[in-house]
Protein backbone atom coordinates (compact mmCIF):
# COMPACT_ATOMS: atom_id res chain seq x y z
CA UNK A 1 0.00 0.00 0.00
CA UNK A 2 1.13 3.56 -0.69
CA UNK A 3 0.04 6.99 0.56
CA UNK A 4 0.08 10.53 -0.76
CA UNK A 5 0.12 13.25 1.91
CA UNK A 6 -0.76 16.82 0.95
CA UNK A 7 -0.32 19.71 3.37
CA UNK A 8 -2.50 22.82 3.18
CA UNK A 9 -2.81 26.20 4.88
CA UNK A 10 -6.52 27.07 4.99
CA UNK A 11 -7.40 30.73 4.57
CA UNK A 12 -9.29 32.65 7.28
CA UNK A 13 -12.62 31.93 5.59
CA UNK A 14 -11.97 28.22 5.06
CA UNK A 15 -12.90 25.34 7.35
CA UNK A 16 -10.18 23.15 5.84
CA UNK A 17 -12.81 20.46 5.22
CA UNK A 18 -13.28 18.99 1.75
CA UNK A 19 -16.62 18.96 -0.04
CA UNK A 20 -18.44 15.67 -0.57
CA UNK A 21 -17.75 16.14 -4.29
CA UNK A 22 -14.00 16.32 -3.67
CA UNK A 23 -14.02 13.19 -1.53
CA UNK A 24 -16.07 11.28 -4.09
CA UNK A 25 -13.81 12.34 -6.97
CA UNK A 26 -10.76 11.05 -5.12
CA UNK A 27 -12.42 7.77 -4.08
CA UNK A 28 -13.42 7.13 -7.72
CA UNK A 29 -9.79 7.16 -8.90
CA UNK A 30 -8.57 3.65 -9.81
CA UNK A 31 -6.70 2.00 -6.96
CA UNK A 32 -7.77 4.47 -4.27
CA UNK A 33 -8.43 2.67 -0.97
CA UNK A 34 -9.43 5.62 1.18
CA UNK A 35 -8.91 9.20 2.21
CA UNK A 36 -8.41 11.08 5.47
CA UNK A 37 -8.55 14.83 6.07
CA UNK A 38 -7.03 16.26 9.23
CA UNK A 39 -7.03 19.76 10.70
CA UNK A 40 -4.25 20.65 13.13
CA UNK A 41 -4.16 23.15 15.98
CA UNK A 42 -1.82 25.36 13.98
CA UNK A 43 -4.50 25.73 11.25
CA UNK A 44 -2.69 23.43 8.86
CA UNK A 45 -4.63 20.64 7.24
CA UNK A 46 -3.54 17.35 5.72
CA UNK A 47 -5.09 15.00 3.25
CA UNK A 48 -3.89 11.41 3.24
CA UNK A 49 -4.92 9.19 0.38
CA UNK A 50 -4.21 5.46 0.37
CA UNK A 51 -3.44 3.49 -2.80
CA UNK A 52 -3.36 -0.24 -3.61
CA UNK A 53 0.16 -0.19 -5.03
CA UNK A 54 2.89 1.95 -6.57
CA UNK A 55 1.24 1.78 -10.00
CA UNK A 56 -2.06 3.11 -8.64
CA UNK A 57 -0.22 5.90 -6.83
CA UNK A 58 1.72 6.89 -9.95
CA UNK A 59 -1.34 6.53 -12.18
CA UNK A 60 -3.36 8.89 -9.99
CA UNK A 61 -0.77 11.68 -9.90
CA UNK A 62 -2.18 13.86 -12.69
CA UNK A 63 -5.85 13.49 -11.74
CA UNK A 64 -5.09 13.96 -8.03
CA UNK A 65 -3.08 17.08 -8.84
CA UNK A 66 -6.02 18.54 -10.74
CA UNK A 67 -8.43 17.76 -7.89
CA UNK A 68 -5.97 19.25 -5.37
CA UNK A 69 -5.58 22.47 -7.38
CA UNK A 70 -9.32 22.90 -7.93
CA UNK A 71 -10.21 22.09 -4.32
CA UNK A 72 -7.58 24.37 -2.81
CA UNK A 73 -8.85 27.25 -4.96
CA UNK A 74 -12.50 26.56 -4.05
CA UNK A 75 -11.70 26.16 -0.33
CA UNK A 76 -9.26 29.13 -0.23
CA UNK A 77 -6.34 26.96 0.85
CA UNK A 78 -2.68 27.16 -0.08
CA UNK A 79 -0.96 23.88 -0.99
CA UNK A 80 2.22 23.73 1.11
CA UNK A 81 3.51 20.37 -0.09
CA UNK A 82 2.81 16.92 -1.47
CA UNK A 83 4.76 13.81 -0.49
CA UNK A 84 4.44 10.11 -1.27
CA UNK A 85 5.15 7.21 1.05
CA UNK A 86 5.09 3.45 1.13
CA UNK A 87 2.91 2.20 3.97
CA UNK A 88 5.07 -0.23 5.93
CA UNK A 89 2.52 -1.25 8.54
CA UNK A 90 -1.19 -0.86 9.11
CA UNK A 91 -3.00 -1.74 12.32
CA UNK A 92 -6.57 -0.73 13.07
CA UNK A 93 -8.22 -1.51 16.34
CA UNK A 94 -11.49 -3.33 15.82
How many whole angstroms separate alpha carbon 90 and alpha carbon 67? 26
- Residue 54: helix, strand or coil by DSSP? helix
The alpha carbon of residue 23 and the mean position of all alpha carbons in its chain are separated, in whole angstroms, by 9
Instruction: Give pLDDT tens digits for 19-51.
Output: 899 999 999 999 999 999 999 888 899 999 999
Residue 13's pLDDT band, with cuts at 50, 70 and 90, is: confident
**pTM score of the predicted model:** 0.90
Amino acid sequence: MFARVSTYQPGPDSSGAPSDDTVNRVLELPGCLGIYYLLGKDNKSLSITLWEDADALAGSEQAAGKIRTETSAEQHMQVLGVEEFEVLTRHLKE
